[in-house]
Structure 1
Amino acid sequence: MIGIGGLINNLWWGGNPDEVHPITGLSRRDVYAIQRSWSQLYSNPGKYGLLLFIKLFRADPETKSFFKAIQNIGEDEISKSFQFRAHAINLMTAINAAVVSLDQPEVVIVLMNKLGESHHRRHVEIKHFKVVKSVLVNILKTELKANQALVTSWDRFVDFIYKHIFEKLNSLTN
């Protein structure tokens, strides 16, 4: 029997807030935390997209080689490149599409498969995506002062989207 607190919780959340979705592995509480925190980063996609890439290049300089237009220029020049700023905004838009579509996980899966295809053509490997994940977590901690619960929610989200990116990468590699 559900108590009054449980009933209110279920009404507020539209169901059990901690019930895990079978496809995404995310609870309603995770989705709320991800979408709420993401809205802060997506409020300035150019700034945070560039920050993500700059930190990525510092963490794994090899990743810079995937971008011919900026391969041989410094961070200040990268920040001034409209072409690269557009790519940073594209990255943020792709993440945003996944975040806002979490109520339709099948759509997210298709989006991530497409990302897997496009990154396969550019010879991006799983190891590079793993660095992106650690950089993203670092940004959540430094820019949003994310607590461990929020980091855990994002970890689950990234695992969900990476599963489908990696499946596509692996299927095209074999």
Structure 2
Amino acid sequence: MRSRSVTCSCSTRCTRGARRTPCSGAARTSRTLTGPASSTPRDSRPTAGTRRPRSIPVEDTSQWRSPEVAAAIQREALASDPLAGTRTPPAFRAPSGALEDSFYLAMGRQLWDAAPITARVLIVRSEKDFWSRPEDVRRLQEHLAHAAQVKAVTLPGATHFVHLDRPDKGRDLLLAETLTFLAEGSASRGP
């Protein structure tokens, strides 16, 4: 298999082969999440020259997203990195492996084999999710050939960040579907 050369944010050159082992630069890449002074995530704060997320159909994103939930997530993310407070603005570091995986998935590459999974599986996607496509769900369902049960749910009107959305915009439905699925599994096992 051919290796590809990647330039990391640390400015070193590395080679990632078929094993996809992280380079030394992967640990140095970071994603900025603004600190406690901000109550909403970067993509939902109005900023000069920027637009609101297209998946949110209202101008005032605070009508769609819950600033309190976003602030709590930001607080915990920053708390997970002991050096977050030493950066201006405060930021936590996160490996960029998820971004690379997302790129390969978008290009149609299967990153792992779901066939060995034998547990019950709940697949949840949001209707207005800019990243999760219906065909991704169908493909995953096909690959979960040995799963005890596969249930796929599309949350109507919800966005990619449904966990930040207000309860009536999808978050309540996400929690209800998850809790119902878990309860059904507990009921089938018995006391």
TM-score (norm 2): 0.26
Which has the larger share of helix? 1
Q: Please tell me whether Structure 1 or Structure 2 has the larger radius of gyration of its CA atoms.
A: 2
Which has the larger share of strand? 2
Larger RCO (CA within 8 A; separation ≥ 6): 1
TM-score (norm 1): 0.27
